[in-house]
Amino acid sequence: MTIESGTAELTHLPGMEVAATSAVPSPERFIERGPWKRLMLFAGRSNRPLAEDIGRHLGVQLGEVKLKTFANGENYCRYEKSIRGADVFIVQSGSPPVNDHLIELLIMIQSAKLASAKRITAVVPWFPYSRQDKKSRPREPITAKLVADMLEAAGADRVLTMDLHAGQIQGFFSVPVDHMTALPLFAQYYRDKGLFGEKVVAVSPDPGRAKMARRFGAMLEADLAIMNKVRPEHDTAEVTEVIGDVRGKIALLSDDMIVTGGTLIAGATALREAGATEVYACATHGLFPGNAFEKIAASELTKVTVTDTVPIDPVNRPEKIDVLPVSGLLAETIMNVFGDESVSAIFAGENQLF
């Protein structure tokens, strides 16, 4: 039995000719009708090269969306083609200017919601305000929770991110959060350089990331060391002691992000004083504001490796800094989400590192 449209006669009007469609009832409690799904990938203005690389891995071009900033600083968004019923993925990192890119992401999400997208996934490689995940002092906000609330209020059905500053941020959401990690990429990078086994030691920058460093060390067949640090003020770190044997070994220091580089530089100095022969460092998100490049270039760090979750200035970047691409990992995750397949299977179920 075919259900005939009550508006079939309208298709004979000039300019309203459409292909005939029909819905076939199923004996089950649903009606099947194609096409089944459409994956559409869009990019904000924070890291378009990363979004383009993701599209190349997926074999899809970035969707057309008009983004502009009015003279008074307000953002504008309009999807140029219909996204009704589509599975929409919006790539927008929290890179500087953080607030502008965050608001642009919220506007893009709401615009997609009002345009009747079937499901909206915010792909946020670096989650903004992730360091403000708790109250460290009285009368402070928990801004990471506020950002989570705003994403949900805008209409995000799912969030895809990488290497959060703290695992509890996932609990700030009531929608699914796919948390990916670059740790296996770094482990393979160092193994390719021959940096694994008894001659190296995986170092945690603080006790809070000891579990992460232990997993990193297991990937490299290396021992573990932990640094104890204090922060006299924001973006300033002092290492008070190194716990573990690093003498005569190559230290591999891992963290989730590099801002000014203060933690890594202080850590490298402390590790060298403790007897480490060389100090390598890696972090998923490299921000490098101000004179961070110059400070790292002049430090005792042998090499610093980051990913392209945040755009890195290719002109001023010193040779001491390497950049690994994460577009392949994000593309595979997006495809698994789109196909309703397991995301943790990408890491053999080992992506819960906190």
Residues marked active site are found at: 229
Contacts of 282 (CB under 8 A, 6+ apart): 186, 189, 190, 252, 253, 254, 255, 304, 305, 306
Q: CB of 175 within 8 A of CB of 149? A: no
One-character DSSP codes across 288-300: --TTHHHHHHTSS
Retrieve residue 29's tokens: 């409690």
Q: What's the CA gap between 218 and 224, in Å, rounded?
A: 9
Count of alpha carbons within 13 Å of 339, Cβ hemisphere only?
10
Distances (CA, A) of 21 to 7, 18, 26, 81, 116: 12, 9, 16, 21, 20
Give me the phi and psi of 304, to 5 degrees please.
-120, 130
Q: What's the CA gap between 286 and 281, in Å, rounded?
A: 11
Q: What's the CA gap between 71 and 270, in Å, rounded?
A: 49
Residue type at 103 in one-letter notation: I
The neighbouring-strand residues paired with 281 are: 253, 304
Contacts of 17 (CB under 8 A, 6+ apart): 11
Give me the phi and psi of 31, to 5 degrees please.
-120, 125
